[in-house]
Amino acid sequence: MSKPPDESERNYEHPLYDYMLRVPGLDVAVTSIDQLLTWGATHSLWIFPMATSCCGIEFMAAAASRVDLDRMGAMIRGTPRQCDVMVVAGTITVKMAPRVKRLWDQMPEPKWCVAMGSCAISGDFYRDIYSVVPGIDTAIPVDVYIPGCPPNPETVMAGLLRLQDKVRLRRAGLPVPSDERPEVHDRTIVPTIGRYEDRKRRGGADPISEAQLESARRLLVRGFPMPEGIDAAATPVAPAKEEPKL
Amino acid sequence: MASTAAVSSKARASSTEASLTPTRAFVPDPYLDLATYAAAADLLTLSLGPQHPSTHGVFRVVLYLDGELIVKAVPHVGYLHRGVEKLCEKLSYSNVTPILDKNDYVAPMCNEQAANMVFEQLLGVEVPLRAKFVRTLLAELQRIASHLLWLGTFAMDLGGALGGGTSVFMYCFRERELILDLFEELTGCRFHYNTHCIGGNRHDIPAGYPALVHQSLDLIEARLLEYLGMLEHPIFRDRTRGVGTVDAELALELGLTGPLLRASGIDHDLRRDAPYHVYDLLDVNVICDDGGDCYARYKVRLQEIAESIRLSRLLIDNLPAGPICSTKPLSGVTQFKITSGQAYVAIESPRGELGTWLIAGGKGMNPYRMKLRPPSLHALAAVPYLFPRHTLSDAVAILGSLDPIMGEADR
Ligand code: SF4
- The CATH number for B342's domain is 1.10.645.10
B151 Cβ neighbours under 8 A, 6+ residues apart: B168, B172, B227, B298, B301, B302
Residue pair B50/A99 in contact by the 8 Å Cβ criterion: yes
Which of B22, B57, B76 is at the close of a domain?
B76
Q: Are residues B37 and B138 in the same domain?
A: no
Q: Is the pLDDT at A227 greater than 50, yes or no?
A: no
Does one domain contain both B391 and B315?
yes
Domain boundary among B56, B76, B96: B76
Higher pLDDT, A199 or A178: A178
Nearest CB to A131 within list B50, B83, B342: B83
Give the residue from A181, A179, A10, A16 showing the smallest Cα distance to A111: A10
Confidence of residue B309 (pLDDT cuts 50, 70, 90): very high
Instruction: Give residue A127's pLDDT.
Output: 74
pLDDT of residue A231: 46
Residues B57 and B204 in one domain: no
Is residue B303 domain-shared with residue B325, that is, in the same domain?
yes
Q: How many Å apart are CA A198 and CA A223, to the nearest integer? A: 25
Residues of B in contact with A52 (CB under 8 A): 57-58, 79-80, 406
pLDDT at B280 over 80: yes
Query: CA B245, CA B290: separation in Å to the nearest integer?
Result: 10
Question: CA–CA separation, B140 vs B350, rounded Å?
Answer: 9
Domain boundary among B10, B42, B76: B76
Residue B246 sits in the same domain as residue B133: yes
Please tell me whether residues B118 and B49 are part of one structural domain. Answer: no
Burial class (CB in 10 A: 0-12, 13-18, 19+), B98: middle
What is the predicted ipTM?
A: 0.81
The pLDDT of B87-116, averaged and rounded, is 86
Whether A56 is in the pocket of ligand 1, judged by its Cβ within 6 Å, is no
Domain identity same for B286 and B184 = yes
| Residue numbers in B near A78 (CB within 8 A) | 52-53
Is residue A239 within 8 angstroms of chain B, CB to CB?
no
Domain enclosing residue B157, as ranges:
84-409
Exposed, middle or buried, A177 (CB in 10 Å: 0-12/13-18/19+)? exposed
Task: Please tell me the predicted confidence (pLDDT) of residue B368.
Answer: 84
The answer to whether the CB of A34 is under 6 A from ligand 1 is no
- The alpha-carbon gap from B110 to the nearest alpha carbon of chain A, in Å, equals 15
| Residue in B144, B127, B140 with CA at minimum distance from that of residue B201 | B127
- How confident is residue B20, by pLDDT bands cut at 50, 70 and 90? very low
B254 and B347 belong to one structural domain: yes
> Do the chains contact at A95 and B360, CB–CB below 8 Å?
no
Q: Do B57 and A78 touch (CB under 8 A)?
A: no
Question: Residues B39, B131: one domain?
Answer: no
Split at pLDDT 50, 70, 90, the class of B53 is: low
Whether residues B137 and B159 share a domain: the answer is yes
Inter-chain touch B406–A52, beta carbons under 8 Å: yes
User: Which residue's CA is the closest to the ligand 1 atom numbered 8?
Assistant: A54
The whole-number pLDDT of residue A12 equals 53
Check whether residue B127 and residue B239 sit in a common domain. yes
pLDDT grade for B141, boundaries at 50, 70 and 90 = very high
Q: What is the mean pLDDT of residues B140-161?
A: 83
| Of the listed ranges A84-88, A188-192, B149-153, B205-209, the one predicted with least confidence | A188-192
Which residues of chain B lie closer than 8 angstroms to A92, CB-CB?
none
- With pLDDT > 90 as the criterion, what percentage of chain A qualifies? 0
pLDDT (tens digit per residue) in B325-363: 887 777 766 677 787 788 898 999 998 899 898 888 777
Distance CA B169, CA B160 (A): 7
Cβ–Cβ gap B173/A57 under 8 Å = no
- Runs of H (alpha helix) within B232-331: 234-240, 248-254, 259-263, 270-273, 294-317
Where b means 16+ CB within 10 Å and e means fewer, A90-113 reads bbbbbbbbebbeebbeebeeebbb
In whole numbers, what is the pLDDT of chain B averaged over residues? 81
Q: How confident is the model at residue A243 (pLDDT cuts 50, 70, 90)?
A: low
CA B59 to chain A, closest CA, distance in angstroms equals 9
Is the model's pLDDT at B23 over the cut of 70? no
Q: Are B397 and B310 in a shared domain? A: yes
**Residue B39 banded pLDDT, cuts 50, 70, 90:** low
* Cα B333 to ligand 1 centre (Å): 23
> pLDDT band at residue B32, thresholds of 50, 70 and 90?
low
Q: How many domains does chain B have?
A: 2
In chain A, residues with a C-beta closer than 8 Å to the C-beta of B78 are 93, 95
Q: Which of residues 60-89 of B touch A (CB under 8 A)?
A: 78-83, 86-87, 89
pTM above 0.95, yes or no: no
